[in-house]
Chains A and B, each alone.
Chain A
Amino acid sequence: GENVEQHPSTLSVQEGDSAVIKCTYSDSASNYFPWYKQELGKRPQLIIDIRSNVGEKKDQRIAVTLNKTAKHFSLHITETQPEDSAVYFCAATKAAGNKLTFGGGTRVLVKP
């Protein structure tokens, strides 16, 4: 089955700096890669996703890149703000809405 590795496990950045989180996956059949933000005790919130036919996607301060050949995908957050502090999870699946395999999570702390 699918295996998703996520790094780093914790990330501390100064407000205004950029944050980058990287994930790798094992199943070449995976073609949908969502990123979730989860605050303590809350449900995961989809912040951006990318499908395998696209190499990059951007939404305001958030961008995701995908390298299908290397089975890597990354989340980039620019101009970080304290409210970006949360745990971020990457995931992979064969089709959107299907069962997800999550990475281990990255705890992001944005220091004011």
Chain B
Amino acid sequence: GAVVSQHPSWVICKSGTSVKIECRSLDFQATTMFWYRQFPKQSLMLMATSNEGSKATYEQGVEKDKFLINHASLTLSTLTVTSAHPEDSSFYICSAERGFNTEAFFGQGTRLTVV
């Protein structure tokens, strides 16, 4: 099956710093990728839709200036958590679709801990 890879798998950062998470589609091109956040023992919540070559579309309640998304190529989307705070600690997962109306493929997730 298609492979979506995230990097890093886990990261610990200090409050006030920024962290960049990468999501790559390794064997297919993805014009659209999705970023989800999952707090402990909770469900996955969509944060934003990342569109190659254009601005991301953010879900209601997600601060676009805090969670910067860049989709500069057909195989890479990045999520930057700016000025991170402990409440941003979560599991961030991306997904990509290989083609229209085909299943979504998930990255392995990135566990962010802000101390």
Residues of chain A touching chain B, judged by Cβ–Cβ distance below 8 Å, are: 32, 34, 41-44, 46, 49, 89, 95-105
Contacts and interface: CB of A to CB of B under 8 A. Distances in A.
B101 interface: yes
A41 B109 contact: yes
Contact of B104 (A42, A89, A97, A105): A97
Per DSSP, chain A at the interface is loop
Contacts of B109: 41-43
Contacts of A98: 97, 104
Interface in B92-109: 93, 95, 97-104, 106-109
Question: Range of interface residues on chain B?
Answer: 20 to 34
B24 interface: no
B46 interface: yes
Given A99-B49, A100-B46, A102-B44, A43 B108 contact: yes
Interface in B68-115: 91, 93, 95, 97-104, 106-109, 111
